[in-house]
Chain A
Amino acid sequence: MRMSLPIGVFLAALLFAGGALRVDSQEKGLSVARVRHFSYPTFTRIVFEIETAAPYVLTRSGDGRSLVFAAYEGGLKAASPLPSINDGVVRTLELKQDDSKPYISIGLDEAAGDVKDFVLRSPDRIVLDVARGRAPEAPARPDASPSTVIVLDPGHGGKDAGIVTAQGQEKSRALEMALALRKLIKRKSPQLAVLLTREKDQTLALDERAAMVNAAGSSVFVCLHAAPGKDIRVFILEPDTEPAPRQTPAVQRDFLGFEAASEHQEALWGRQQAAHIAESGRLGRKIARLVTGTDNAEPIQAPLALLKAIDAPAVMVEIGMEQDRHKAMESLAKGIEQYARGIR
């Protein structure tokens, strides 16, 4: 949802079919269990983990320096203290009271740009992405293409260790590989922007990763995992039997006439990859052939939960724990770099 109007009142009617977020609950209002935040080069993400959900209102002040997040009807409760972010985009989150109605005031810095909000389920979350207005520019080169953004996703993390073998935990191995891969890609192609979904040991849900990748405007997405043994496998999303969405459906409006952006996003969520199946196949084939050293290697098609919501050519690479990591990362970097060169 764009927040470019001076004073905009936007209502996200969270009318989930599953009934996870119900409006007709006896106790109206929002109950926020926890607030998390993530700072990325191009945006700051604020995640409200919701206990008791209801429609919410997001308003931007006239001077654009603050946001008001409140329940559409009833009160708003925050179970834990709200964080101070101070990352140059978002300053603080404070619980305030106005005419006996509590709300969360989100202080923005000058660099704050557009704000997008959407909801995620299982568990229920309301996510606000505040864009960094002045994103760092890519190093100037004749063939530079600042629009090419490679996002690497080290699988698992935090509470989710992934597989555990004699060689270690998958979450640590995946992060090591992603950091090494970023270094290799940047060394070969410094003009490419290479982002990681996590740079530390941190729990991230699949939907959160996908939302992060899409918000970053990813041109290529590579998810890194480890597996027992020596094999390297490259996966792409299995083409859906349902037809791919050809165009964005008309914007839905809620019962008050506001754009129900969350509902709109919800309808499309999980189908983003359908528009990139052919390109993902091309990327997967290139990488599979380079990492396996086999001329006719093909990526494995599978219904991967993460890839279906990625709005960019996307692959998952699973590298055996006993495999020569350095060699595998070099081949992978070469494949990504070659593919990125082709789309510039």
Chain B
Amino acid sequence: MASSNSPSKSFGALAEFDGAASLVSACEKVRDAKYRKWDAHSPFPIHGIEDAMGIPPSKLGYVVFVVGLTGASAGLLLQWWTNAVDYPFIISGKPLFSWQAFVPVCFELMVLFSAFACFFGMLHFNKLPQLYHSLFRSERFERVTDDKFFISIESADPRFDEVKTVQFLKDIGATHVELVEE
């Protein structure tokens, strides 16, 4: 039976900031304090925040590269099988396997596969679709789409401590800090 004054399990701490500049400088300090499971929330994209947060370059490019090459190979294989093996048919006197004619289809399939890899890979790396998030419990967090900036540190982080982390967030310029339930 959960008591009313202590949350059953906390998701983490949510700190509120007034401006983009104070958010970025706070991010640098959270990064330097070696927190791993945390995120910054802002109503608009902020230049240079990846550096401030210490986010490494996205791995998405490598996924797209491999899948794109797969698409090009699939296009070549498809045309080779259909035109030269399964149903040989001479078209304007060209050889059955005419790579020149196959290039556009290979190219298009590469683009198609790459686009899918890029779109779904992006969703995957962003952990989307996600219908519910614990931070939505916070009423103050609603203003993240309007005029407020937030940093959330999850309790799953090994360095997380209910007292110390809250104090830390206050020290780095948060105007308000709260604990959010799972």
Instruction: Indicate, yes or no, whether A interacts with B.
Output: no
Footprint of A on B, CB under 8 Å? Answer: none
Q: Residues of A at under 8 Å CB distance from B?
A: none
